[in-house]
Amino acid sequence: MPGPGSTSVTRSTLRQQIADALRDEVLAGRLQPGQEFTVKQIADQYGVSATPVREALVDLSAQGLLESDQHRGFRVHQFSVTDYRDMVETRSLVVDGIIQHAERLGRTQVNASAVVPVRRRAEEAARAARSGDLDILIGYDLRFWHELGTIVSNRYISDFLHQLRVQTWVFAVPHLKGETDCRRWLFSGYEELVDALVRGEITEARDVLCGYTELSLSWADRLDERIGS
């Protein structure tokens, strides 16, 4: 017989499952920036009650992916090119801070055995980036950076960067799908970064990360010319 807390546990699990499913829909571009929907529509879509759906939507709003309108429901947040550029610069500053902190502590080399699963993610992400397969790339990219982050920093920084990366993908996906060849704008240096960190080659790792930032900002400049901020 279920215990007294089983209902809340089930609802909490359902809430997370719905939030994860909707986040995937946004990341895949199936829910477009600015698209509106109600709690009832999502509840009907997934065949569940309104309560866990509302909770999931509130969670995604807190993560900056959705906006709440008291009278019209929710809509996917529409980031601007300026938002994207700010996110890229923030990401770069935080990562550089992590590297500086590691240097001060003399922890500039990552344990090779600890990054074995991260190396596998790197290989898959790089392969997807080179082929321009966004649907495959996004999942591996998010897992790669989050797992690498937990190794080289603390979980609070890792979680913050993960949320930032999700937001950058939410902005980027619709625009990348509009590119004639999106591969030109996709970072593929995952393996080079891991190898540099394992060898303790911080200058090389910095070069890879700087190249990534420059690529992202160059794409932002291109988007400015096409769509403006």
pLDDT, residue 29, reads 84
- Find out whether 176 and 168 touch, Cβ atoms under 8 Å: no
**Taking the alpha carbons of 163, 168, 169, 171 in that order, is the dihedral positive or negative?**
positive
What are the counts of helices (DSSP H) followed by strands (DSSP E) for the chain? 9, 3
What is the structure's pLDDT at 229? 47
Tell whether 38 is covered by a domain.
yes
Answer yes or no: do 189 and 119 share one domain. Answer: yes
Show which of 76, 94, 120 is a domain's final residue.
76
| Count of domains forming the chain | 2
Do 96 and 195 fall within a single domain?
yes
Q: Which residues pair with 74 in a beta bridge?
A: 37, 68
> Is residue 1 in a domain?
no
Sheet holding 66-69, edge to edge: 36-37, 73-76, 66-69
Q: Are residues 107 and 53 both part of a single domain?
A: no
Global pTM reads 0.87
199 and 104 co-located in one domain: yes
Query: Which has the closest alpha carbon to 98: 87, 115, 86, 110?
Result: 110
Inside any domain, residue 132: yes
Give bridge partners of residue 69 from the DSSP assignment: 73
Does 67 share its domain with 95? no
For residue 142, name the pLDDT band (cuts at 50, 70, 90): very high
What local confidence, expressed as pLDDT, does residue 71 receive?
74
20, 54, 76 - which closes a domain: 76
Q: Give the residue among 27, 43, 38 at the shortest CA–CA distance from 68.
A: 38
In what helix (H) or strand (E) does residue 154 lie, and over which residues does it extend?
none
pLDDT at 12: 63
Tokens of 149: 């982050």
In this predicted structure, what is the pLDDT of residue 30? 87
Is residue 103 domain-resident? yes
- Which candidate, 158, 154, 152, places its Cα nearest to that of 115? 152
Q: From CA 63, how far away is CA 28, in angstroms rounded?
A: 17
- Whole-angstrom Cα distance, residue 76 to residue 130? 29
Range(s) of the domain holding residue 11: 6-76
Q: Strand, coil or helix: what is 8?
A: helix
Residue 114 has pLDDT above 90, yes or no: no
Do 66 and 97 lie in one domain? The reply is no
Are 24 and 131 in the same domain? no
Q: Kindly state the average pLDDT of the residues 204-220.
A: 96
pLDDT digits (tens, 9 = 90+) for 11-49: 568 899 999 999 999 998 888 889 999 999 999 998 999
pLDDT tens by residue, 64-89: 999 988 777 899 999 999 999 999 99
Residues 124 and 40 in one domain: no
Judged against a pLDDT cut of 60, whether residue 50 lies above it is answered with: yes
